[in-house]
Amino acid sequence: MRKVLCVIVVLFALVTITSSVFAQGDASLWVKMRDGHTPKFIPWVTYDSGKMFAEARFNFDWDKSSTLFLGKSFQVGGKSLVPEIGIIYGKDYKAVTPQLLAWGGNGRFGWYALNQGSFSTNNAPHFFYDFISASWKFSQRLSAKLNGQVYWEEATVPAIDIGPAARVIFPHGLYSQVWGTVNPANGVKKFFVGMGTAF
């Protein structure tokens, strides 16, 4: 079943890229690194046709799990809001997961937020995840960010990661981003690097 879901994610990515004349989206690959751990690869695709917002990602919400979302984007007072409903499916984790995306800003300053709740259907723990980013654009090609995320699994202490990030935008919509984090509670450091394309 995992192979089938991976194929679906790849096909979804191809469809979104080829339909960019009528819609917009983003396809990216992220690598999460932490001392003493194997690097974790996270492919991520979003697609907005105006009538439907779709999102697919792998290995992000739970190890070796696929997550698929459907929703709709709305413009509210200059801000974009996207309520979504999704499913997480993997060998060790299955869940229903609502999510709310929001972003806004002006020419120089921007912000982005992701808020997610995951409600397990296979006796695994429920979890809640929040990510927020504030960015400052130095030029059309370079922006600096301050990102933070909180992951809270029921009956555990929330994990917090916060740190600076930088994004470089290349011609034709390609971009690269790096993000270094530290957990202020225990000093655990992580490093993320990503490459993607907006279409």
The pLDDT tens digits for 77-106 are 989 999 999 999 999 999 999 999 999 999
For residue 116, the tally of other CB atoms under 10 A from its CB is 21
Distance from C-alpha of 121 to C-alpha of 75, rounded to nearest angstrom = 33
pTM over 0.75? The answer is yes
What pLDDT, on the 0 to 100 scale, is given for residue 83? 98
The pLDDT tens digits for 35-88 are 888 999 999 999 999 889 999 999 999 999 999 999 999 999 989 999 999 999
Tell me the domains of the chain and their CATH numbers.
Answer: 25-40+48-55+73-198 (2.40.160.40)
Q: For 151, how many CA atoms within 13 A lie in the half-sphere containing its CB? A: 8
Distance from C-alpha of 52 to C-alpha of 16, rounded to nearest angstrom = 12
Distances (CA, A) of 123 to 94, 120, 136, 151, 154: 9, 6, 42, 19, 12
Mean pLDDT, residues 157-174: 95
With 90 as the cut, is the pLDDT of residue 143 above it? yes
What pLDDT, on the 0 to 100 scale, is given for residue 6? 52
Radius of gyration of the chain (CA): 17
What pLDDT, on the 0 to 100 scale, is given for residue 35? 80
